[in-house]
Structure 1
C-alpha cells in the first residue's frame, strides 16, 4: 500500500463515456420502464422527457464542478469545497447509500434473468466476481465495460427495430389520456434511476487524463447516447405492448420481442439483459468505491478504506468493503423498493451538486436542476421518501458524532 493515496490517470474520453453508458443502459431498460409505465400510464414518454431534462441539468452542473475539482468523489467534493463540509458529507452519504441500493437492484436483475428461482444467490455471485475485476485495475474495468456496452447496444437496436416494424405495432397508443402530473413526475423519478449513471464519470475524476477537458465532454455524450436508446426502446415497447401491457410486464424487452412475433429472439434478450446488468453493476461498484475512498481519505469513514494498492493503483479495501455490503443487501432486498430508495437518495445528491454549481456563476441551469431534483424526489412513492429521509437523518447523526470525535 502507498503512504500517500492517489490514483493513476489512465482513462480517456472514450473510456469515460463507456463507463457512464455501462452504468445507465442496463438498469433503465430492464427494470425502470415497467414501474414508470405503471405510474404514468400513457404519459410514460413525458416522464422520460422530464427525467432527461433533470438529468441534463444535473449533468451540466456536474461537468462544471468536475472540471473545477478533478478529484475522486463527485458531488461529495463539490459540496465540500463550495458549500461546506457538512453538505459535501451529506452528498457523499446520499451517493453511497443510494448507489449501494442501485448496485443491489442491478445485481438482482442479473439473477432474475439468469436464473429466476435462484435470483438472490446469482446476484451475490455477480457482485463478488465484479468486485474482483474492479480490484484488478480500472483500465481492465473499462475494457470489460466497453465490450458489454457494444453487445447490449446492438441487441437493443435489434429489439427496438423488431418492435417498430412489427405488424402489431400501433402508434396510436402514444395518445396521452388520463395521465396525472403526479404520475408523470413519479415516472420521471423512477426513470432517473437509469439516467444517473453519468455520475460514475465524475467520481473517476482522479483517473481520467486531462479531466478539465475529458469530463465535460464525456458526461453529455454518455447522457445523449443513453437518451436516444431509452426513447427508441420506449417508443417500440409502447407501440407493441401499450402502456397497460408494459406496466404489467415482468420482462418488458422480452415481452416486446414476443409480441412482435419473433419468439426465437427471446432467449437472446435474456442473455442481453444479463450482460447489460453486469455492465451496469461493474460501473456502479466502481463509482461507489471511489466515493468511499474519498470520504475515508477525509476521515468521515475509516481511514483504512483510503489505502491504494501499489500494484494495481486501485483503492482495494474500499472496493472490497463496498462489494461485501452490496452482496449482503442483494441477498435480501426487494427490487422495486431498491429502485425507489436509490432514486430518492441520488436526487438529493444531485440537488447538492446543483447548489455547488450555483456558486460558480451562470445560475439558471443549477437553479432549475436543484428545483427539478427536489420536485421529482418528493413525487416518488411515499415509502421511498420516508425511508430516504430517515437514512439522511441517520447520516446527519453520524456526521455529528464523527465531528465530535475529531475535536
Structure 2
C-alpha cells in the first residue's frame, strides 16, 4: 500500500501533529454535545412518542458502528479528510469524492444553521448579525491554530455538560415525575421509531470530526481509536440521562409539543432558576458545534483541494499556524454569507441525508479492510451501512428528495470534470 500519511506532492507544508487523546476527545464532545440535544428531542417525540428512547438506542448502535469503522480507517489513513480519504483509497476515486461532497455541502449548511441558532438565542431581533459575528470569531480562533480551538472547546464542553447534568438532576429529583411515561414504545410505530432514530442520530454525528483532524493528531494509530469511543460513550450516557429525565417530567405529549424541551423540563421540575442557565447553555452548545464543524469542513476541503477536486490553492498550509488557512477563510466566508442572507434551519434536510450517505461510505470502506489492517468484525460495518441507508430513507420525503438531488448534482459535476481532465490521481493499490 502506498503511503498516504503525507500531503500530495506540491503541497508546501504539512499540518502539525499536536493533539493528544484528551484534546481529540474534547473536540469529539464539542461536536456531539451541541445544539442537537436541545432541539432534537421534541421532533423525535412527535415521531415516536415514548418510543424516542428506542430511537435513541437505535441511533446509538448505528453511531457505534460508524465510529468503530471510522476509528479503524483513521488509524490506517492518518491524514485530513476523513471518509473522503477512506472512500478514495478503499472504494475508488468517485466514492471518496461523493463522501467529501456530501460532507462539505451538507455540513456547510449545518454551520449556517448553528450560527443562526446562536443568533436567535442571543438576540432574536438581530439573529443574522449575531450569526455572522459568531462565524467570524470562530474562524479567527481556528485560523490561529488547532490547539486554541481545542482549548476553547474544553470550556464550551464543560459549560454544556454542566447545564445538561443540572437539568437531568433537577428533573429526576423533582416531584413531577411520572414513571408511566417510561412505558417505552407503547405509543410508537416502527416507522416512527426509525424516524426518531434518524433525527436523534445527528446529535451523535460529531465523532467524525476526530477522524477529519487525523493529520493534526499525535500518534494517530493509537490516539484516534481511543478518542472516538471515549467521546461517544460519554455522550451516550449524557443523552440517555437527559432523554429519560425530560420524558419523565413532561411526558411524551408534553415533550412533543415543547418549543424548548430542556427549558420546559426545568420549569416543570420547579427549577425556575435553571431556565436562564439553559438559555445560556443552548447558544454555547451551538457555538461548540459550529467551531467543530468549521474545523471538519475546512480539513475535508483541504484534502479535496490536494486532489484538485476543489481549487488547488485551498491546499495551502499556513507556515506559522500550521492550519489550512485558505480553506478556513473560504469556509468561514461561505458560512457567513449563508447565515447573513438565508434561514437554513428549516431547509437542512439534505444535510441529514448527506451525513448518513457519508457514513454509509465509511462503513463500506471499513468492510474492505483485511485482518492485518485492523478490520473490525464484519457485523459492525454491515450493521452501520444498513442502518445508515435505512435511516436516510426513513427521513421525511422532502429531506430524501433534496438530499438525493444534492448528491446527484455532485456526481454530475464529478462526471463532467472527469470527461474534461481525466482521473485526478492514481488509485492506491490495496
Give the TM-score band, short-chain normalised. over 0.9
Give the alignment partner of residue 330 of structure 1, picking from 334, 339, 360.
Answer: 339
2:5 maps to what in 1? none
Give unmatched runs, 5+ long, in structure 2. 1-9, 371-376, 423-430
- Alpha-carbon distance change, 336 to 31 in structure 1, aligned in 2, over 3 angstroms: farther
Counterpart CA distance in 1 for 2:151 and 2:68 is 26
After superposition, residues 359-378 of structure 1 pair within 5 angstroms as 359-361=368-370, 362-378=377-393
Counterpart CA distance in 1 for 2:208 and 2:135 is 20
2:84 maps to what in 1? 76
Once the two structures are TM-superposed, the CA of residue 6 in structure 1 deviates from its matched residue by 1.6
Once the two structures are TM-superposed, the CA of residue 5 in structure 1 deviates from its matched residue by 3.6
Kept in 2: contact 1:309–1:315 (CA 8 A): yes
- Show CA shifts across 1:224-280 (max 9, x none): 111111111111110111122112222111111111111122111111111111111
Does residue 103 of structure 1 match 2:118? no
- Show CA shifts across 1:178-218 (max 9, x none): 21111111111111111000000000000000000000000
Kept in 1: contact 2:350–2:406 (CA 8 A): no
Kept in 2: contact 1:101–1:341 (CA 8 A): no
Once the two structures are TM-superposed, the CA of residue 120 in structure 1 deviates from its matched residue by 2.6
Deviates more, 1:350-359 or 1:164-173: 164-173
1:344 maps to what in 2? 353
Kept in 1: contact 2:50–2:252 (CA 8 A): yes
- Show CA shifts across 1:272-322 (max 9, x none): 111111111111110111000100011000111111111111111101111
Give the alignment partner of residue 388 of structure 1, picking from 379, 383, 403.
Answer: 403
After superposition, residues 154-169 of structure 1 pair within 5 angstroms as 154-169=162-177
2:419 maps to what in 1? 404
RMSD (CA atoms): 1.3
Counterpart CA distance in 1 for 2:13 and 2:335 is 24
Does residue 252 of structure 1 match 2:267? no
Once the two structures are TM-superposed, the CA of residue 20 in structure 1 deviates from its matched residue by 0.6
Deviates more, 1:176-185 or 1:364-373: 176-185
Give unmatched runs, 5+ long, in structure 1. none
Does residue 201 of structure 1 match 2:201? no
Q: Which runs of 4+ in 1 moved over 6 A?
A: none
Does residue 301 of structure 1 match 2:316? no
SS of equivalent residue, structure 2 residue 320: coil
Deviates more, 1:377-386 or 1:119-128: 119-128
SS of equivalent residue, structure 2 residue 98: helix
After superposition, residues 32-71 of structure 1 pair within 5 angstroms as 32-71=40-79
- Alpha-carbon distance change, 120 to 34 in structure 1, aligned in 2, over 3 angstroms: farther
Kept in 2: contact 1:202–1:215 (CA 8 A): yes
- Show CA shifts across 1:109-143 (max 9, x none): 21222122322322222112111111111000000
Give the alignment partner of residue 31 of structure 2, picking from 4, 12, 23.
Answer: 23
Counterpart CA distance in 1 for 2:35 and 2:411 is 29
Counterpart CA distance in 2 for 1:300 and 1:262 is 53
Give the alignment partner of residue 152 of structure 1, picking from 157, 160, 177.
Answer: 160
Kept in 2: contact 1:193–1:342 (CA 8 A): no
Counterpart CA distance in 2 for 1:230 and 1:113 is 22
Deviates more, 1:274-283 or 1:97-106: 97-106
Kept in 2: contact 1:73–1:294 (CA 8 A): yes
Counterpart CA distance in 2 for 1:63 and 1:104 is 27
Kept in 2: contact 1:5–1:306 (CA 8 A): no
- Show CA shifts across 1:28-54 (max 9, x none): 211211211111112110001111000
Deviates more, 1:357-366 or 1:194-203: 357-366
Counterpart CA distance in 2 for 1:281 and 1:159 is 23
Counterpart CA distance in 1 for 2:350 and 2:175 is 39
Kept in 2: contact 1:10–1:139 (CA 8 A): yes
Counterpart CA distance in 1 for 2:193 and 2:347 is 19
1:185 maps to what in 2? 194
Tell me the TM-score normalized by structure 1: 0.97
